[in-house]
Amino acid sequence: MGRIRPVVKKEFRQIFRDKRTLGILLFVPAFMLVMFGYALSFDVKHISLAVYDADRSSMSRDFIENFLHSEYFDLNYYLSRFDDADRLLAEGKALVLLAIPEDFSENMSQRETTTIQVLVDGTNPTTASSAVSYVSTLVQDYSTLLTTEALERSGISIEALPIDFRPRVWFNPELESAKFLVPGLIGFILMVTAVVSTSLSIVREKERGTMEQITVSPLKPIELILGKTIPYVIISLAATISILVVGHLLFDVSIHGSLLLLFIVTLIFLTGCLGLGLLISTISESQQVAFMIAVIATVLPTFLLSGFVFPIRNMPVWVQVVTYLIPARYFMVALRSIILKGAGIAAFWDQVLLMIAFAVLTITISARRMRAQLAGAGQSEVQGIQRIIARISKRRE
């Protein structure tokens, strides 16, 4: 430990001197949390609604009012001509058009089935699917209400409906997308920042020509790796705490599980990320190359294939197979289980084992490549000294 401490101090000193690395570690996580937390949302609300009411009766107005009692629809356009529907949908001013026929109230009074036309802009499938679901639910509720009132007027009392449907949502009762995204953001941010920042550490030594000085020191490769990674582990854990605090203050995301278990899982994941960063640094010759490789290896795979945003079960089978190569996939499962569900290790022990395997693999490969590079640098240093000695000998002769 005595030989590792100077490397840790040196790395901390370089981090605070390097504004780019410091910004990646401290400011980028907070910026990404705020931007993703507010900008990225799956909640489909305040859908622009246009209505064409050919009946213009009290019953049709009551039916339209049924749509406005929720936060899902905003009545922005009340059409006098149905021909205006195409223009509103084409221009994107209205996402849903509700067309009520002129015999609506007459059919309702005679207890006959009437047809309601609903036009939906399907440009965005997610919004369109949610809009259709909302319309179906509201129409079904209104139909049930009318049926119940008609039976009561006929003197038929309804003691109970055939099916008493009482949904109860666990873990995220409000169905807020932020509570789903914030735990995933922790994995996404840690993956990107830890790998990018660590990948620059060894390359920085190469560019500054200090790698040769390290080779003549008594440091072993594993000691050099520990000395290089410990500062980033500490800073990344501090970033994790800050993300959790900000997530609780801004998005009301609380930790329902064990803090100790969350710390252990995060530490295991960080070890694998830092090992990947060190591996990238051993195969790069400049900080620019290391940065590009780290970004390509982390940003898109973690965003698309880890389950952070898009459900893995909805992907094609061959893509699901590829996702097993993404370590953030396992961390996402563990994070959401601990933070949202309050689950214990029994719920995701297999994910933890896979993260441990990834960490051991990356650290082992990084240590071997580091040993080979140190040996090569040491050999170059010896050859350089030999050349200098040979030149001095020639001058004396």
* Residue 143 and residue 227 share a domain: no
* Residue 75 and residue 58 share a domain: yes
* Residue 211 and residue 329 share a domain: yes
Residue 219 lies in a domain: yes
Q: Taking a C-beta distance cutoff of 8 angstroms, is the pair 51, 75 a contact?
A: yes
* Residue 376 and residue 297 share a domain: yes
CB atoms within 10 A of CB 145: 11
pLDDT in tens, 222-251: 777 777 778 888 888 888 888 888 888 888
pLDDT in tens, 100-111: 888 888 887 777
Q: Taking a C-beta distance cutoff of 8 angstroms, is the pair 179, 251 a contact?
A: yes
Look at residue 202 and tell me whether its pLDDT is greater than 90: no
Say how far apart CA 134 and CA 70 lie, in whole Å. 10
Residue 265 lies in a domain: yes
Among the candidates 138, 153, 168, a domain finishes at 153
pLDDT band at 63, cuts 50/70/90? confident
For the entire predicted model, the pTM comes to 0.74
Helix, strand, coil % in the chain, rounded to nearest 5? 70, 5, 25
Which tokens belong to 351?
């994910």
* Residue 286 and residue 209 share a domain: yes
Residue 251 lies in a domain: yes
Among the candidates 112, 138, 153, a domain finishes at 153
Residue 197 lies in a domain: yes
Per the structure, the count of domains in the chain is: 2
For range 57-72, the mean pLDDT: 84
Please give the single-letter amino acid code of residue 213.
Answer: Q
For 155, left (φ over 0), alpha (ψ -120 to 50), or beta? left
* Residue 138 and residue 285 share a domain: no
Sheet holding 96-100, edge to edge: 73-79, 47-53, 96-100, 117-120
* Residue 118 and residue 187 share a domain: no
Q: Taking a C-beta distance cutoff of 8 angstroms, is the pair 232, 196 a contact?
A: no
Domain of 106: which CATH number?
A: 3.40.1710.10
CB burial class (10 A; 0-12, 13-18, 19+) of residue 246? middle
**CA-wise closest residue to 276 among 358, 158, 343, 383:** 358
* Residue 28 and residue 54 share a domain: no
* Residue 339 and residue 198 share a domain: yes
Domain boundaries, position 110: 47-153
* Residue 200 and residue 140 share a domain: no
Most confident segment among 16-20, 59-63, 193-197, 328-332: 328-332
Residues 6+ apart with CB under 8 A from 328: 187, 188, 191, 269, 301, 302, 306, 308
Residue 168 lies in a domain: no
DSSP of 312-364, one letter per residue? GGGS-HHHHHHHTT-HHHHHHHHHHIIIII---GGGTHHHHHHHHHHHHHHHH
Say how far apart CA 265 and CA 270 lie, in whole Å. 9
Strand partners, 119: 97
Residue 360 lies in a domain: yes
* Residue 246 and residue 149 share a domain: no
Residue 160 lies in a domain: no
* Residue 281 and residue 387 share a domain: yes
Q: Taking a C-beta distance cutoff of 8 angstroms, is the pair 278, 366 a contact?
A: yes
pLDDT band at 21, cuts 50/70/90? low
Which tokens belong to 263?
């710390």
pLDDT score recorded for residue 33: 76
Largest CA distance in the chain: 126
